[in-house]
Each structure stands twice: as structure tokens, then as C-alpha cells.
């Protein structure tokens, strides 16, 4: 039995599993819309013990299972018109990530995403929008969706750029959660072939991902249950708190 287990290409650093469990649960809660923004911390947490590309590859099957769990519960609540606008740009971002992978370091991408996230939050704090303020223009929406697809491809940190556009819309929490869930389900599905072409879908990464799969639906199911019950005010307080913590962590990763 021991020899059979020894043949599996497992990561033997115990800190990997100490960090992987909260990382997967945070990503699940973020997938549900509850604690939106916190999910982008998953890959940076794992990158403390394994290289960022390997952390991203290990998380990809976990994200796919989360997407399936989220879609099953949230599909009917999505904003279809908004998705028709944003999804093509998000897939373009995946294409850009494929082309630029290895040209821009993951540290540079993480730092840029963190800085832009914190700048957005500072702008919202210093210059809070009026209730009747118009939504961001179409070009800004497409730019943010493209950036979301790109940063999702590189470090699975696509939620901060997308949230810059979605949060000011003040949608119902469940509509926000469903729209985000469908967007990232399509983006994550589009990553598979490029990741395989880059050599990231290998036996070592997939075996370690398999160990984390049972945790994937737990955070999503819990988050959907909470999202349907939380007051909108507290939902957005938690969403902005998640963006702040994620932005700070990504900026720190870029600078250290």
C-alpha cells in the first residue's frame, strides 16, 4: 500500500495542504458571489509553497467543479444581456493571456491587478457615486472584462477587474452572483486547451488537484445559501472588503 501511494506524484510539503484547504473554500465562497473578491486570494495563497503556474494549474479542475455547482444553482438568475456584452471580451482576455504567458511575469500581473483594485476602492471612498450616477461606458466595460479574462488566465484573479464594473451597478446579490458565475465558468472552460499547450495539465498537477476536488462544492453551496439570505447592504460591504484584501495581497506579491 505504501509503495502504491509512493508512486503518486504528490506534493509532500504539509504547508501546501494547510494553505490549500482555505484557498479552495475561499474560491468556492467567491464563486457563489458571497465574499466576492476573496476567491482571488486562492492562487496567491498556494503560490506561497508552489510556483504560480503550478498553483493555477492545480486550481483549474477545482474551479471547473465549482463552476458546475454554481451554474446548477444560479443559471436562471443571470443577467443574460450583460453577459452577451462582457463574455466576448473576457474570452479575448484569455487569448491575450495565452499569447503573453511567459512574457509578463506573474509577479508583474499580480502587482498591476492589486494596484488597480486599490485605486478603484480609493476612488469609491473619496468620490462616492450618486445614486443616479450612470454606469461606466461600454468601452470601459469591455476593457475591464478583457482584463478580467487575462488576469484570470495568469493567476485566477479575474474577479477584481470584473467587480470594478459590476459592483457599481448595485444588482441584487443573487443576480450579481449568477452573472459572475456564468462569466467565469466560460472563461475557465476556455483555459483548458491553452493550459494543456503550455504543459501545465500534467500528471503531478492533476493528481494533487484530485485530492482537493471534494472541497470544491462545499464553499459554493454554502455561499449560495448565504447569498440568498444576506441583506444587500452587507453583501456589498463584504464584497468591497474582499476586493481590498485581495488588492493588498496581490500588490504585495508584485512588490516583494
If one counts the domains in the chain, the total is: 1
User: At residue 101, what are phi and psi to the nearest 5 degrees?
Assistant: -60, 125
pTM of the predicted protein model:
0.78
Could you tell me the end-to-end alpha-carbon distance of the chain, in angstroms, rounded to an integer? Answer: 42
Beta-bridged to residue 104, according to DSSP, are: 101
What percentage of the chain carries pLDDT values higher than 90? 17
* 30, 72, 205, 214, 227 from 210: Cα distances, Å: 20, 21, 9, 8, 28
Q: What is the pLDDT of residue 5?
A: 45
Stretch 87-93: mean pLDDT, rounded?
Answer: 96
Phi-psi region of 171 (alpha: psi -120 to 50; beta: other; left: phi over 0): beta
Q: What is the pLDDT of residue 132?
A: 60
Structural domain of 222: 2-255
Cell numbers given for 140: 470601459
SS3 for the chain, per residue? CHHHHHCCCCCCCHHHHHHHHHHHHHHHHHHCCCCCCHHHHHHHHHCCCCCHHHHHHHHHHHHHHHHHHHHHHHHHHCCHHHHHHHHHHHHHHHHHHHHHECCECHHHHHHHHHHHHHHHHHHHHHCCCCCCCCCCCHHHHHHHHHHHHHHHHHHCCCHHHHHHHHHHHCCCHHHHHHHHHHHHHHHHHHCHHHHHHCCCCCHHHHHHHHHHHHHHHHHHHHHHHHHCCCCHHHHHHHHHHHHHHHHHHHHHHHHC
* pLDDT tier, 37 (very low <50, low <70, confident <90, very high otherwise): low
Write the pLDDT tens digit of every residue in 96-125: 989 887 777 777 777 777 787 787 777 666
Stretch 26-40: mean pLDDT, rounded?
Answer: 69
**Residue tagged 455547482 (cell numbers):** 69
Stretch 73-89: mean pLDDT, rounded?
Answer: 93
**Residue tagged 444588482 (cell numbers):** 171
Write the pLDDT tens digit of every residue in 168-227: 888 888 898 889 889 999 999 999 999 998 888 888 888 888 888 888 888 788 877 877
Q: Are 26 and 38 in contact (CB under 8 A)?
A: yes
Look over the chain and give the mean of its residue pLDDT values, rounded to a whole number: 81
In angstroms, rounded to a whole number, what is the distance separating the alpha carbons of residues 255 and 127?
27
* The length of the chain, given as a count of residues: 256
In angstroms, rounded to a whole number, what is the distance separating the alpha carbons of residues 43 and 152?
10
Amino acid at each position: 500500500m505504501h509503495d502504491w501511494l509512493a508512486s503518486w506524484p504528490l506534493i509532500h510539503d504539509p504547508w501546501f495542504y494547510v494553505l490549500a484547504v482555505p484557498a479552495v473554500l475561499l474560491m468556492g465562497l467567491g464563486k457563489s458571489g458571497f465574499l466576492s473578491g476573496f476567491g482571488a486570494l486562492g492562487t496567491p495563497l498556494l503560490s506561497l509553497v508552489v510556483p504560480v503556474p503550478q498553483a493555477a494549474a492545480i486550481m483549474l479542475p477545482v474551479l471547473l467543479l465549482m463552476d458546475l455547482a454554481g451554474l446548477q444553482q444560479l443559471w436562471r438568475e443571470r443577467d443574460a444581456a450583460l453577459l452577451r456584452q462582457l463574455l466576448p471580451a473576457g474570452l479575448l482576455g484569455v487569448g491575450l493571456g495565452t499569447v503573453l504567458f511567459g512574457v509578463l511575469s506573474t509577479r508583474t500581473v499580480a502587482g498591476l491587478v492589486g494596484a488597480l483594485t486599490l485605486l478603484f476602492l480609493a476612488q469609491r471612498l473619496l468620490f462616492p457615486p450618486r445614486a443616479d450616477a450612470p454606469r461606466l461606458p461600454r468601452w470601459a466595460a469591455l476593457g475591464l472584462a478583457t482584463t478580467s479574462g487575462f488576469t484570470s488566465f495568469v493567476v485566477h484573479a479575474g474577479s477584481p477587474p470584473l467587480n470594478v464594473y459590476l459592483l457599481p451597478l448595485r444588482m441584487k446579490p443573487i443576480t450579481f452572483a449568477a452573472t459572475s458565475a456564468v462569466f467565469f465558468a466560460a472563461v475557465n472552460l476556455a483555459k483548458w486547451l491553452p493550459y494543456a499547450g503550455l504543459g501545465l495539465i500534467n500528471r503531478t498537477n492533476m493528481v494533487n488537484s484530485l485530492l482537493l476536488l471534494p472541497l470544491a462544492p462545499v464553499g459554493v453551496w454554502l455561499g449560495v445559501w448565504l447569498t440568498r439570505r444576506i441583506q444587500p447592504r452587507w453583501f456589498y460591504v463584504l464584497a468591497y472588503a474582499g476586493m481590498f484584501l485581495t488588492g493588498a495581497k496581490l500588490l504585495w506579491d508584485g512588490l516583494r
